[in-house]
């Protein structure tokens, strides 16, 4: 059976069948998946019971793993449950127990429920993220994706002209501040210093412009903070209207990969007393290409 992709939401999000991603892929399948990513920006694979090693091996077909000296989270190295190369997006502590909802690591994780683009707080934000569903709660816990190419295309002419030259500042401090988590150490604040990115970016392969929004964006260069925050909030509301959103209802064994250069996403609520074990591999990106 050969690889095929069924559209899930018009030109946004596709469901891939006819491929076993737990095994090494041939070049034609890798090329088909890359072309699918450029077309749909989000791809869903079902019934892929990946080990961490298999997930990393599949990910490496599409680039290099993201790796940084400063982490994108506040969990200390010795508290990690998983090995190198794979990030823990579960609600489990390093002993495999459900973490306390009063744990500051949990507070920090709740920031992922705001619309964002992975690693937008880094000078070279992530290319693809790949999330593997291992244990899924009985209710909720969807991941939602918004098409930022469609969001750009749907702007009115005046707003499109206005955003074209704007530069935003992104930091984990801004997204955590939005949910009232301001209890960061001096060391964390230093590690999360803001970086600047264009508000409109051009996709390096397709050339399509998209809005580069994220909960991490908390300032616009040359604007007052309140003016910037309210404008970014308006743009985010525009970009996440339901016509532009695919909501993924997880089943164990699903793998969803998305292109952070063309999408935003957010996690949805679930019962914190149930286990959610999802694991992410992330591909290194390059600094965004500004302009339309």
Distance CA 228, CA 281 (A): 32
> In the complex with Mn ion, which residue's Cβ is closer, 19 or 128?
128
Q: Using alpha carbons only, what angle is made at residue 109 by residues 242 and 281, rounded to the nearest 5 degrees?
A: 80
- Give the pairing of strands 42-45 and 12-17: parallel
Closest distance to Mn ion from the beta carbon of 1 (Å): 32
Q: Which of 231, 232, 130 is closest to 175 using CA atoms?
A: 232
> In the complex with Mn ion, which residue's Cβ is closer, 88 or 118?
118
Closest distance to Mn ion from the beta carbon of 41 (Å): 14
Closest distance to Mn ion from the beta carbon of 280 (Å): 8
Closest distance to Mn ion from the beta carbon of 275 (Å): 19
- Cβ(170)–Cβ(120) under 8 Å? yes
Residue 229 CB coordination number (10 Å):
17
> In the complex with Mn ion, which residue's Cβ is closer, 48 or 129?
129
Q: Which of 257, 89, 114, 259 is closest to 172 using CA atoms?
A: 114
Closest distance to Mn ion from the beta carbon of 282 (Å): 9
Q: Which residue is nearest to Mn ion (CB)?
A: 118
Residues within the interface to Mn ion (CB under 5 A): 118
> In the complex with Mn ion, which residue's Cβ is closer, 19 or 37?
37
- Tracing tokens 């973490």 back to the chain, one arrives at 99
CB burial class (10 A; 0-12, 13-18, 19+) of residue 196?
middle
> In the complex with Mn ion, which residue's Cβ is closer, 118 or 254?
118
């Amino acid at each position: 059976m050969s690889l095929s992709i069924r559209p899930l939401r018009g030109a946004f999000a596709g469901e891939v069948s006819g491929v076993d991603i737990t095994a090494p892929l041939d070049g034609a399948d890798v090329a088909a998946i890359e072309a699918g990513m450029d077309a749909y920006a989000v791809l869903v694979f079902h019934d892929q019971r990946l080990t961490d090693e298999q997930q990393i091996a599949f990910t490496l077909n599409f680039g290099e793993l993201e790796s940084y000296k400063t982490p994108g989270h506040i969990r200390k190295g010795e508290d990690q449950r998983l090995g190198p190369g794979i990030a823990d997006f579960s609600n489990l502590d390093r002993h495999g127990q459900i973490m306390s909802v009063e744990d500051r690591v949990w507070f920090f994780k709740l920031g992922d429920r705001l619309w964002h683009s992975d690693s937008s707080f880094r000078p070279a934000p992530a290319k693809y993220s790949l999330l593997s569903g291992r244990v899924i709660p009985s209710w909720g816990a969807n991941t939602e994706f918004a098409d930022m190419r469609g969001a750009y295309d749907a702007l009115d002419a005046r707003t499109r002209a206005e955003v074209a030259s704007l530069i935003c500042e992104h930091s984990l401090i801004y997204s955590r501040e939005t949910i009232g988590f301001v209890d960061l150490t001096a060391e964390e604040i230093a590690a999360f210093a803001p970086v600047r990115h264009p508000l409109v970016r051009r996709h390096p392969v397709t050339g399509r412009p998209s809005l580069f929004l994220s909960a991490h964006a908390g300032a616009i260069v040359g604007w007052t903070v309140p003016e910037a925050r309210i404008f970014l909030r308006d743009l985010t509301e525009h970009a996440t209207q339901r016509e532009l959103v695919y909501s993924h209802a997880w089943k164990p064994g699903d793998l969803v990969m998305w292109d952070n250069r063309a999408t935003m996403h957010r996690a949805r609520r679930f019962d914190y007393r149930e286990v959610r074990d999802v694991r992410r591999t992330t591909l290194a990106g390059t600094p965004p290409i500004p302009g339309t």
